[in-house]
Amino acid sequence: MSDSLIRGSSSPPHSPRGSVNLTRRQLLAGAGAAALLLEQRGLHAQATASAAVVFSHTTVVNADAVQHDVALAVEGDKIVAIGPTDAILETYPQAEVYDGRGKALLPGLINCHAHLAATLARGFNEDFGFPNSYRLAIRPRSLLSEEESTLMAVMGALESIRGGVTTVVEYTGGIGSSAAALADTGLRWVFAESVRDIENGAGPLSAESLARSEAPRFSARLRDEGLQSAHDLFESWHGARQGRISVFPTTALAEDSSPELLHAVRDFAEKNDLGYTIHLAQSTWEVEYMLRHHGLRPSEYLAKHDFLGPRLFAAHCRYVDDSEIALLGRSGTIISHQAHMAANRGVIPPISALRAAGCPIAQGTDNNTNDMLETMRIALVTERIQRDDVTPGSQPQPEDMLADAVQGGARAVRQEALLGSLEVGKKADLIVLDTQRAHLVPAGRILSAWINNGQPSDIESVLVDGQFIMRDRKILTVDEPSLIAEADKVGRRIWSQVEAASPVTVPRLPRS
């Protein structure tokens, strides 16, 4: 299939001024391609940020406080003032004024666990358990070229922007091939390069793979190659794009990691003052495998090899027992809670117990979706179901969910001094919420109204590092419509091949 875009077979040899032929590669070049598009159409790109921007007469929402009818000033990449509108406009007379009436400003959301290229499997992967139990004859990912995999990841990035996410932890292997395209979206990134060194495993585990499993064999060659990839990515990208890009070393799975790999990842992180992450206790089969072959539950295995601690943000922890919860709490390990995906998998992780044990909580989306609003909403209701409160439904509160998503997230990505709240001196990573929507008016507490009833489309603008990457619901950094059209074309091609080889039959409930 040709990677040419916006080019129909009936197009004349010389396209009119308004029709531009851009290849997929040019589109994935991000801002450069967007600028080319504007230039070829005879337009001029507008600056996405002036020297200073003042959001006037607005509401500033943090997890711990809400300020009404104030102004917030951004200069460069920082928040420089919050206070009465008249006083701030007098201090910044040359600033661009963004009318904040009927708006609320919130800290940008931090997604601590994403696998962006998994957007390809939307509408399939959510519905057949974990690991996906449906036996397709062809794996959809196997039909993607490297460039198409990058395109799928960029789709996840676009959804993130529209949902108010400003920082994403992209957790996979081989991130280098997609790094530039992701960076060009304008988001803040943590590239978590995943390493595994097992020779005779291909986790995550299923019942079938557990049944045929044998004692793990680890490879120094695989370990060295994976760590070298992480080192190379770190050298190329850590601190790039005015510091918006961080690179963390990671292991993929507890069951696929040798003690030597665990030590190496932690040593790399400590040497460079980084965080690190892992998938932990995702399934009962993982727990059984670790008990069978190591004589330890997953968290106990990590503790034995000195992997737990405040630099670690462990994803999932769905099947940890009381002893593991105590270990995780004592070590100060951060838990990245993917509530939406856990609910899809039919489980509620013991988040209230982990929280009580002393684990800081962050949040992430996992795969297929990148909607952090829905993640916060599901985290809220599932933890309320799980708790045994005297007054059911009273804890946690929406403010707690925002705190997990922004303060917990900032802690996980080791940027607490810069991110997680709207305060003078912190980075201007913020979202502008349109509060004048039928489902948000009236509202006793706008944060509660939004987390309980809101939609990603309520977000009208997004700033990262003081730059608008979306304004008035238009993404400014990449050519979103053309990228969506191309992703749709790729997805239709792949799923037509997959379904031709093995049509999907949905196991419906019986109807009375």
Residue 293 and residue 157 in one domain: yes
Are 483 and 340 part of one and the same domain?
Answer: no
Check whether residue 167 and residue 217 sit in a common domain. yes
As a whole number of Å, the end-to-end CA separation of the chain is 47
Task: Show the DSSP H helices in 29-98 as ranges.
Answer: 31-40, 85-91
pLDDT tens digits, residue range 125-163? 888 888 888 889 999 999 999 999 999 999 999 999 999
Task: Decide: 200 and 493 in contact? Cβ < 8 Å.
Answer: no
* Rounded CA separation 61/66 (Å): 5
Note whether residue 17 is domain-resident.
yes
Q: Residues 194, 293: one domain? A: yes
Same domain, 193 and 321: yes
**Vertex 83, ends 79 and 89: CA angle to 5°?**
80
Residue 190 and residue 325 in one domain: yes
Q: Note whether 12 and 85 are same-domain residues.
A: no
- Report the pLDDT value the prediction gives residue 50, as an integer from 0 to 100: 54
Question: So what's the pLDDT on residue 203?
Answer: 76
What are the pLDDT digits (tens) for 195-209?
Answer: 999 999 867 888 999
Judge whether 134 lies within some domain. Answer: yes
Any idea of the CA torsion for 212, 216, 220, 221, to the nearest 10 degrees?
0
Span 347-377, pLDDT tens digits: 999 999 999 999 999 999 998 899 999 999 9
* CATH number of the domain that residue 460 is part of: 2.30.40.10
Write out the residue range of the structural domain in which residue 165 sits: 109-412
Whether 389 and 404 map to the same domain: the answer is: yes
Q: For residues 16 and 64, state if they share a domain.
A: no
Q: Over the range 81-104, which residues count as b (16 or more CB within 10 Å of their CB) and which as e? A: bbeebeebeeebeebebbebeebb
Please give the average per-residue pLDDT across 288-302, as a whole number: 97
* Token code pair at residue 316: 């999932």
Is the pLDDT assigned to residue 396 strictly greater than 50? yes
Query: What is the chain's mean pLDDT, rounded?
Result: 91
Number of domains in the chain: 3
**Does residue 114 fall inside a structural domain?**
yes
Would you call 459 exposed, middle or buried from its count of C-beta atoms within 10 A (0-12, 13-18, 19+)? Answer: buried
Residue 423 lies in a domain: no
